[in-house]
Amino acid sequence: MSFKNFFKKINLSKGFTLTELLVVTSIILILTVVVLASYKFFQSGIFLQQSTNRLIQDIRRMEGMAIAAQECSSCDPKNYKYSYGVYFNSSSQDSYILFADCNNNKNYDGNDDIIEKVKLDKDIIISSLSANSLSIVFSPPDPEVDINPSSDEAEITLSDNKGRSKKVIINKAGLIAIGAE
């Protein structure tokens, strides 16, 4: 069979009409818009979950450094008791500070060594704290957990720009709970 006869048999003159092409193109465009809108919505939820997990991981890291009695070289060895903590301030909604409690006062102040200033993910903020400024300090060997101002637990609420929130609660025993607002 020759190519000429083959094309005659399958009758290539039939095709799609302009209406059919427009309908299919419209459906594809609508699906694309829906997928992109959903992606942006779920992406901010992923950033919120990521920031919450990082906060918990940083709190555990400070606790681990205190348990290990890891030495901070910039602290004066006379007063330093290997305490580490996390500091939050309501005026700094997009970050928090990890610090070594160099003067052993169980609170963050200008005499403490900043280990890291952690910036939250895009569009994530610390929307509320259980106090205007909040320090959570771990001291060895157990570790002892000090929450300042003095309280049995600390609450940190992270929020995204879509109105979703996650609350992190730390108690005096060092237990961490996560909840949705």
Quick: pLDDT tens for 6-38: 555 555 556 778 888 899 999 999 998 888 877
Burial profile 56-82: b = 16 or more Cβ within 10 angstroms, e = fewer: bebbebbbebbbeeeebeebeeeebbb
Burial profile 100-138: b = 16 or more Cβ within 10 angstroms, e = fewer: bbbbbbbbbeeebeebeeeebbeebbbbebbbeebbbbb
**C-beta separation of 155 from 168 below 8 A:** yes
- What is the set of domains in the chain, with CATH numbers? 37-180 (3.55.40.10)
Q: What average pLDDT does range 94-103 have in this prediction?
A: 94
Tell me what percent of the residues of the chain surpass a pLDDT of 90: 57
Q: Write out pLDDT tens, residues 35-64.
A: 887 777 677 688 899 999 999 999 999 999
**Paired residues of 97 in beta bridges:** 87, 117
What's the predicted TM-score (pTM) here?
0.77
Tokens of residue 3, six digits: 């190519």
Please tell me what DSSP assigns to residue 161: T
Q: What average pLDDT does range 85-109 have in this prediction?
A: 94
Closest CA to 59 of 164, 161, 178: 178
pLDDT at 94: 94
pLDDT at 145: 93
pLDDT at 162 over 90: no
Average pLDDT, the chain: 87
Cα Rg, the chain, nearest whole Å:
28
pLDDT at 87 over 60: yes
